[in-house]
Structure 1
Amino acid sequence: MNKFWLVMGHTYVTKLRAKAFLVTTALTCLLIIGLANVQTISEAFTGDETAHVAVIDRTPSLYKALEKQVNNKEITLTKITNLEDEAKKAVKDGKWDGLLVLSTDEKGLPKAFYYANTIADNRTSEELERGVNALKTALAASKIGLTKEQLAVLYQPVPFQKVALEKNAKSEKELNEARSLVYVLLIAMYMFVLMYGGMIATEVATEKSSRVMEILVSSVHPVQQLFGKIIGVALVSLTQFFVFFAVGFAALKANGQEVWRFLGLDQTPLSIWGYALLFFLLGYLLYAVLFAVLGSLVSRVEDVQPAITPVMLMVVAAFMIAMVGLNMPESPFVVGASFIPFFTPMLMFLRIGLVSVPAWEVALSFALLVATMALLILVGAKVYRGGVLMYGRMNVFKDMKQAIQLTKK
């Protein structure tokens, strides 16, 4: 057991001191601080964002009505009497941000042309379009004799409530909150597996290419060595995540945010966090074993990426199905896929977070996941021990068979 702690400690300290780890952590912390203060930074650099729009009104009264509709700090309207060509030239010269020409069609209803040097910024044009549409609605209603009260009734939304009949079903508000939380945790799980799974494979391949493995494998049991590296890298990743969380927490707190409410921790049931932790750890261990085994089969660090690509694609597939499942958690496809061990950590957690899942389904998916993980550890340890002694060009299936044969010798 002492050798396990030795391997784990060596992996943890080596990765923690690595220049790439320190630089990545520092840059990510700066990014988190920047995102937490994005509004302040934006205001400091952008200055006056008000769009100054000149208006040529070819009608008696549309400008005054539009001015009431477009009443915000983002747009300033100024009525001008210039000719249209002169006004367009003023826009090109930068005197105005845009030019709006108001007129009426054959039915006496408003129509407008908006001119600007570029129309890439949709905010100004969309706000002006909304104002002109409101004017058109008001004028059309007055032409057919509708009062303001009748118009309000016409556009009043239909009362439409969603009521779940199941006893333990979540309300619409609870579903929206749960969906946001599940989405964030799925992203975290996805990034965690991809980022640190690749780190495990690279760590194994690096030691193998330096021939250190030939010494280690003769003195440390393969299971101890395998899990020493997996847990060592897991501790590195948790350390990095803790630093990110602490920096983000401090940055949000400094901006006056109620952090726990911002993260959804104030209303989320503890059971959801328990399931999140359980599936997070099991999913990480499942994929970590695969990454470590594949890393042991390559002879050069350059070959790591092609070797682990199939596993990464599997993680991506699970994540993509989960994104579909956020809106259709009870879809037969999502339900069926949640029992596939490699998809279970994301999909079963998704279902538990959004709908009421029978206890036997949770137990079955958990049993399948644990059984698959035990089988991978059993086979993986044999492949790992033989694989670290193999050099040359990689052929995954052929090398796995040869690695197991080497273990038996």
Structure 2
Amino acid sequence: MRDFWTIFKQSFWTKAKTKSFVITTLIVVAGIFLMANLSSIISKVQDVGVFGEGVDDHTILVVDKSSSIVTQLQRQLDMSDSGITLKVTTNSNDELEKQITDKEIASFLVLVLSDKDTIQASYISENANTFEIPMTIREALQSVQTNIKANSLELTEEEVSQLFSPIQFEQTAVSASSKSEKELSEARGLVYVLIFVIYFAVFYYSNMIAMEVATEKSSRVMEIIISSVSPVKHMFAKIAGVGTLGLLQISLFGLVGFAALQTTSSDLTSGVFSFFGFANVSISTMIFAIVFFILGYFLYATLAALLGSLVSRTEDVQQILLPMTFLIIIASFVAFSGLGNPQATYVQIASYFPFFTPLVMFLRVGMLDLPVWEPVLGIGILLVTIFILGWFGSRVYRGGVLMYGASQSLKDIKAAIQLGKK
């Protein structure tokens, strides 16, 4: 047992102290804070002015050729709390375009009311990359246009409000396992993020194990190690060491993400958060995410160690891992496609295929109200598969670490098993 913990600590600290691991962790942490506060950053940049200091892109000069639209438009903009201020100008279009070029103003608006009481508007800016302000002005102008048409038809305000009153639409489902539209919205974002985390972690850390084994073989360090430690103990110590490091890193990202969401100015109910539904986090979903992450890691890590033991050059690692890579990619495709229809038959079937279960069964657990036996059955299938793969992998690993020379891909498995018996 002492040998196991020695290799465990060596695998853990060797990777934890590498510059690539530390830099990657810091970049991801910084990225989490950046994404959580992106809306606030954009807002502050817009307050400063994208055209330079002293230029306010929320103050817009207006050429109103009808002399009747600006007042109504400003009223509509104030009602929506847009923060946009309109100022009428008598300058020509050419003069205003020159002011934009000279960075004196950000944009200007030209308003014309046709003989048929139709508003014709032109928003002119330096480039077409700005969407928020033009869209806000367009929506306000549409309201002004509605009022103008209502007046021409002699409609009262009550009649106009009745004309544009929204319908009441509610979506319900007959299936007992289906959640309501609100519950699906609340679960969608968390499930999406956690599926991506599980996919990334399983792929990244499994590759790390295979690369570690191949590196030790290519440097002939493996021959020294297995002279004092059994290959099986070496394999599982490496899997446990890298797995523990992965769990700590993912936990760090989770804590940083939680802290970032707490410091953001958003209440998690508007913008992108309203679509992903981060306001309500289910404890059961988080527990299943941890369970399926751990089981998925051990499943693919065992497979990666098995395959990594067959190559003696780090250059051959990616080639030998192609079958495993395809399995992870296909599983992620099924899971992400199932976000739109988690009750699809192919999603249900795929959730019981062990190499797809960590992603697909977790998707169904997060998006549906499943009976307890379904996720438990998926976990049982994973445990049995891990046990079988561990038993088979240990036999391959025992002989694979002693094999050198050009790899013949999966054909070397038989040779590794035979060598391990000697």
TM-score between both structures, scaled by the size of structure 2: 0.87
The amino acid across from 1:397 in the alignment is L
Aligned match of 2:232:
223
What is the CA distance between 1:19 and its match in structure 2? 2.8
Aligned match of 2:342:
329
The amino acid across from 2:6 in the alignment is L
Aligned match of 1:62:
69
Q: Residues of 2 paired with 1:202 and 1:184: CA distance?
A: 27
The amino acid across from 1:216 in the alignment is I
Q: Residues of 2 paired with 1:80 and 1:121: CA distance?
A: 22
Change (3 A) 1:124 1:363: closer
Change (3 A) 1:61 1:322: same
| Structure 2 residue 322 is matched with structure 1 residue 293 | no
Change (3 A) 1:45 1:59: closer
Q: Residues of 1 paired with 2:36 and 2:283: CA distance?
A: 27
Q: Residues of 2 paired with 1:59 and 1:177: CA distance?
A: 48
SS in 2 for 1:393: coil
Q: Would the aligned equivalents of 2:207 and 2:304 in 1 still touch at CA under 8 Å?
A: yes
Q: Would the aligned equivalents of 2:189 and 2:278 in 1 still touch at CA under 8 Å?
A: no
1:232-275: CA deviation from partner (whole Å, max 9, x where unpaired)? 0011122223333444445555568899xx99899555433332
The amino acid across from 1:100 in the alignment is L
Alignment of 1:141-290 (within 5 A): 141-166=150-175, 169-253=178-262, 268-290=281-303
Match of 1:103 among 112, 118, 136: 112
Change (3 A) 1:216 1:279: same
What is the percent sequence identity of the aligned residues?
41
Q: Would the aligned equivalents of 1:217 and 1:385 in 2 still touch at CA under 8 Å?
A: no
Q: Residues of 2 paired with 1:348 and 1:113: CA distance?
A: 52
Q: Would the aligned equivalents of 2:214 and 2:314 in 1 still touch at CA under 8 Å?
A: yes
Q: How many residues align?
A: 407
Q: Would the aligned equivalents of 1:222 and 1:382 in 2 still touch at CA under 8 Å?
A: no
SS in 2 for 1:103: strand
The amino acid across from 2:199 in the alignment is Y
Q: Residues of 2 paired with 1:4 and 1:366: CA distance?
A: 27
SS in 1 for 2:309: helix
Match of 1:311 among 314, 324, 344: 324
SS in 2 for 1:53: strand
| Structure 2 residue 384 is matched with structure 1 residue 375 | no
Change (3 A) 1:43 1:151: closer
1:68-120: CA deviation from partner (whole Å, max 9, x where unpaired)? 12234543321111233333333333332222111123422111122222111
Gaps of 5+ in 1: none
Aligned match of 1:129:
138
| Structure 2 residue 400 is matched with structure 1 residue 387 | yes
Q: Residues of 1 paired with 2:46 and 2:369: CA distance?
A: 48
The amino acid across from 1:283 in the alignment is G
Over the aligned positions, Cα root-mean-square deviation in angstroms equals 2.8
Q: Would the aligned equivalents of 2:311 and 2:404 in 1 still touch at CA under 8 Å?
A: yes
Q: Residues of 1 paired with 2:122 and 2:285: CA distance?
A: 53
Q: Would the aligned equivalents of 2:176 and 2:369 in 1 still touch at CA under 8 Å?
A: no
| Structure 2 residue 95 is matched with structure 1 residue 86 | yes
Q: Residues of 2 paired with 1:59 and 1:265: CA distance?
A: 47
Q: Would the aligned equivalents of 2:310 and 2:407 in 1 still touch at CA under 8 Å?
A: yes
| Structure 2 residue 355 is matched with structure 1 residue 342 | yes
What is the CA distance between 1:283 and its match in structure 2? 0.8
SS in 2 for 1:188: helix
1:299-332: CA deviation from partner (whole Å, max 9, x where unpaired)? 1222222322332232122122211111200011
